[in-house]
Structure 1
Amino acid sequence: MPLADETKESAQARWTRPFKPKGGPRYIQIAEMIAESIQSGSLQSGDQVPPQRTLAAQLGVDLTTVTRAYAEARNRGLIASYSGRGSFVTGVSEPGAEVRIDLTMNIPPQPANGAMAELVGKGLDDVLRRNRIEALSTYQDEPTTRSALQAAQGWLKPALGDLDTRALSVCSGSQAAIFAILASCAKPGDTLLCDPLTYPGLLLAARQLGLRVLAVEGDADGMRPDALERAQQQSGARLVYLNPTFNNPTAHTMPIGRRQQIAATVLRLDLTLIEDDPYRYLLDDAPAAIATLTGGANTFYLASLSKCLWPSLRTSFVLPPRRDTGERLQSGLRAASMGCSALLLGLVEHWIRSGTAKQLVQEIQREARARQQLAGSLLTAPVQTHPTGIHLWLALPAHWNQNLFTHALDELGVNVASADSFSVAPQTQDAVRVSLGGPADQASLGSALRKIDALLKEDRRRSSRAFV
């Protein structure tokens, strides 16, 4: 090989570094080398990465490892490959073209291996092979639902332990479950207690049903038991809603000690707790569910598959309180819809029983971790989050308020959710929730995060709320 070519190939691979002994599979480490080099500027748009055989020889790995690494990098949107030409760092959009990046939707990221479409296709093929089309064409067929619930009981075992799950119900998403629970447990004018910042779907359902929503004070560990008791005594409320594991929007997780105190308070005051737990399976270190600490008494436990598997499944499982048959809940669900799609329930069951669901969670965790690491490297402001969470909570500096910031960011082609979208009261802290799962790849996410960080550093001091 001519000396000039050797020099060129050597320069192409200057971004490589030694493998880390406990850094994960080597093909993932190579993909991360590419990502880190793009972030640092060592690799620029249009730069060619080395031929696979050249890089394999330089790093001392087999060709298959590099092939998998480049496939991983392509799936992340870092490089593009062209037959006969090689692989290149992906380019930017054409000048003047508007590319909007939506960081408002809290959905899990697609696995970096690009396997979601294949998993869905294979799963549906299996469902159609195993079931008569007539059975999949009815409204919530009882045998199909019962079989899916049996699979769900196994799926929920790590979260619910030895709780009796025979009354478990399935519904078309947690939003439907929340509405049905509120409708069955409260009447217009009743009070619902929750955190000051909470799931917008809860606020929507409560207001639609004419309920009064009252925020309960918290501290660094979450809702305070003494504040919960005081709020209950003052309002006469019988219902409490909590999202204690990787809270939406604050990304805070209530520690086990506080969960025990809340469980004891709920039982002592004979309150009904709605424990919404959609993010548990993304976190390997989640504390025990509050439902297990109450022994299932006085507690509705909600587990959605939308945040840990795939939003299009539109499937959630609800365990009513101990000794509650779930009939009122079922009546509420029937009043709102005709149940879940038999086809989607078949896919859910297949994924759980075949182990695909567990595998998919691991892939999503891995991609979420990579996106969180990307956010950590690009955002210089402190954030609250979790290493495998799918959003982060960003408190704004004093020179920004949330309305001006989200408007200015919108003008840059990036959308985030402001704190007032989650607030029970009109006045709230100036902060935004940044959802990391929506962008199709890490390159798009990185572009949005750079814009966020640059805007945070701008100082546009005004009397902000007077202008919005």
Structure 2
Amino acid sequence: MPLAEESKKTAQAQWIRPFKAKGGARYIQIADMIAESIQSGSLQAGDQVPPQRTLAAELGVDLTTVTRAYAEARNRGLIASYGGRGSFVMGASAPGAQARIDLTMNIPPQPANGSMAERVGKGLEEVLRRQRIEALSTYQDEPGTRSAVQAGQAWLQPALGDLDLRGLSVCAGSQAAIFAILSSTTRPGDSVLCDPLTYPGLLLAARQLGLRVVAVEGDADGMRPDALERAQQQSGARLLYLNPTFNNPTAQTMPAGRRAQIAATLLRLQLTLIEDDPYRYLLDDAPAPIATLTGGANTYYLASLSKCLWPSLRTSFVLPPRDDDGDRLHAGLRAASMGCSGLLLGLVEHWIRSGTAKALVEEIQREARARQQLARSLLSHEVQTHPSGLHLWLPLPAHWNQSLFTHALDEVGVNVAGADSFSVSAQAQDAVRVSLGGAADQASLGLALRKIEALLKEDRRRNSRAFV
């Protein structure tokens, strides 16, 4: 072999390290080596990784292990393989690379150990083993739902404590629950109160139903009780929506003291609260839900599994207000859908009862923490977030507005959500939400964050030409 070619092959393999004794499956460790080397810069977009046989010999493993490792790396978007040419690191300059990174959707990251597909496969296998396919092929039925609800009661009990959970229901996602609650408790023209920046699904549902959305002023602790009372008196609203734990999009978490004030205010005003709580299980330090402070009175409590486990579950638990028989809620849910998928409900129940759900939350927490740490290391600007949260809220420097910034990011292959997507008012602040779970892996997230950081430092006012 010519010296130059041998030197090239040696350089290609500089990222290889010994296997860890308890680092998991070796093919996963190889894929992790590639990801970490891309993140550190040891491997660059367009670099060729060693041929499979060469790497197998270098690492002392069989060819099948490396084949699985490269397949895993391709699935993560780390490399692309071309027949007759080999495998190359993905990126803007890689052959056939798909450089676009979508950070608009607020989804949990895949566990770094690549266990999600295996967990889903094993879980569904167990569901099919325990239940007849005929039972899973019908629309939602009472026995199957009742069993899943019992599992949900066990899942929610640590958060909801002594609340009576006998009225708990399950539905196909919190968006369906929000729409059902709004449609069953309001009429066109009624007002709904919420934070100035709030969940887009609420805005969509309210506007679809012809409701008036009224923003209530807040401060660093969240919605202000005095502003809530004033807004209620001026609007006549009977319904309040809050996402007090790791707010989407601002990442604020309302402290316990403010929650107690809000609870007292809504009980005094006889307001009904929709407490949307999808991120609680990702945060170890979340205060008690407002529902526990109202004793369940005047409060719908929503707990989605899409943000803490897996979006494809499309499952949310809903606890109606105390002394509410839930008939209006169920009628609204029936009008919106024919219930949950029996197969997915079976998977949810199995994961909760077997402890898989708890273990999966812990894995997602670890990956979320790693991604938040990566963001802190790469972004020099002030952000609002939580160490294990799924997103960060990035107020823009004075020389950027959100429209120009999101457009400029789109031009370099990165998508984020602008503040106008969450704003009740037509005039939104200049900020963006960056969803860290949207990237396929930490390597692509690092690439996206570097592009964001570079753009933040660029002043388009100085670079633009004057037109007369």
Report the TM range for the smaller structure's normalisation: 0.7 to 0.9
Going from structure 1 to structure 2, the CA distance change for 1:54 and 1:177 (only over 3 Å counts) comes to same
Distance (Å, rounded) in 1 between the aligned partners of 2:268 and 2:455: 48
Distance (Å, rounded) in 2 between the aligned partners of 1:422 and 1:40: 35
Could you tell me which amino acid in structure 2 is paired with residue 386 of structure 1? H
Distance (Å, rounded) in 2 between the aligned partners of 1:283 and 1:427: 31
Check the 8 A contact 2:90/2:97 in 1, yes or no.
no
Q: Tell me, what secondary structure is at the counterpart of 1:318?
A: strand
Matches within 5 A, 1:239-250: 239-250=239-250
Going from structure 1 to structure 2, the CA distance change for 1:76 and 1:371 (only over 3 Å counts) comes to farther
Could you tell me which amino acid in structure 2 is paired with residue 211 of structure 1? L
Q: Tell me, what secondary structure is at the counterpart of 2:205?
A: helix
Check the 8 A contact 2:92/2:98 in 1, yes or no.
no
In the superposition, the TM-score normalised over structure 2's length comes to 0.84
Q: Tell me, what secondary structure is at the counterpart of 2:380?
A: coil
Distance (Å, rounded) in 2 between the aligned partners of 1:298 and 1:214: 19
Matches within 5 A, 1:86-97: 93-94=93-94, 97=97
How far the C-alpha of 1:332 sits from its partner, in A, is: 0.5
Which residue pairs with 2:267 in the alignment? 267
Q: Tell me, what secondary structure is at the counterpart of 1:134?
A: helix
Matched, 1:152 2:156: no
Check the 8 A contact 1:197/1:250 in 2, yes or no.
yes
Going from structure 1 to structure 2, the CA distance change for 1:30 and 1:105 (only over 3 Å counts) comes to same
Which residue pairs with 2:281 in the alignment? 281
Which residue pairs with 1:132 in the alignment? 132
Matches within 5 A, 1:43-442: 44=44, 46=47, 93-94=93-94, 97-442=97-442
In the superposition, the TM-score normalised over structure 1's length comes to 0.84
How far the C-alpha of 1:41 sits from its partner, in A, is: 3.9
Distance (Å, rounded) in 1 between the aligned partners of 2:48 and 2:390: 30
Distance (Å, rounded) in 2 between the aligned partners of 1:206 and 1:181: 10
Distance (Å, rounded) in 2 between the aligned partners of 1:36 and 1:127: 36
Going from structure 1 to structure 2, the CA distance change for 1:53 and 1:98 (only over 3 Å counts) comes to closer
Could you tell me which amino acid in structure 2 is paired with residue 223 of structure 1? M
Distance (Å, rounded) in 2 between the aligned partners of 1:220 and 1:292: 22
Question: Unpaired segments of 5 or more residues in structure 2?
Answer: 1-5, 61-65, 82-86
Going from structure 1 to structure 2, the CA distance change for 1:37 and 1:190 (only over 3 Å counts) comes to same
Superposition RMSD in Å? 3.6
Which residue pairs with 1:22 in the alignment? none
Check the 8 A contact 1:15/1:43 in 2, yes or no.
no
Q: Tell me, what secondary structure is at the counterpart of 2:438?
A: coil
How far the C-alpha of 1:99 sits from its partner, in A, is: 2.1
How far the C-alpha of 1:370 sits from its partner, in A, is: 1.1
Going from structure 1 to structure 2, the CA distance change for 1:26 and 1:119 (only over 3 Å counts) comes to closer
Going from structure 1 to structure 2, the CA distance change for 1:429 and 1:147 (only over 3 Å counts) comes to same
Question: Unpaired segments of 5 or more residues in structure 1?
Answer: 20-24, 57-66, 82-86
Check the 8 A contact 1:77/1:442 in 2, yes or no.
no
Going from structure 1 to structure 2, the CA distance change for 1:261 and 1:33 (only over 3 Å counts) comes to farther
Q: Which moved more, 1:215-224 or 1:93-102?
A: 93-102
Distance (Å, rounded) in 2 between the aligned partners of 1:409 and 1:353: 43
Going from structure 1 to structure 2, the CA distance change for 1:225 and 1:95 (only over 3 Å counts) comes to same
CA deviations 1:194-220 (Å, max 9, x no partner) are 000000000010011111100000000
Distance (Å, rounded) in 2 between the aligned partners of 1:419 and 1:146: 40
Matched, 1:458 2:439: no
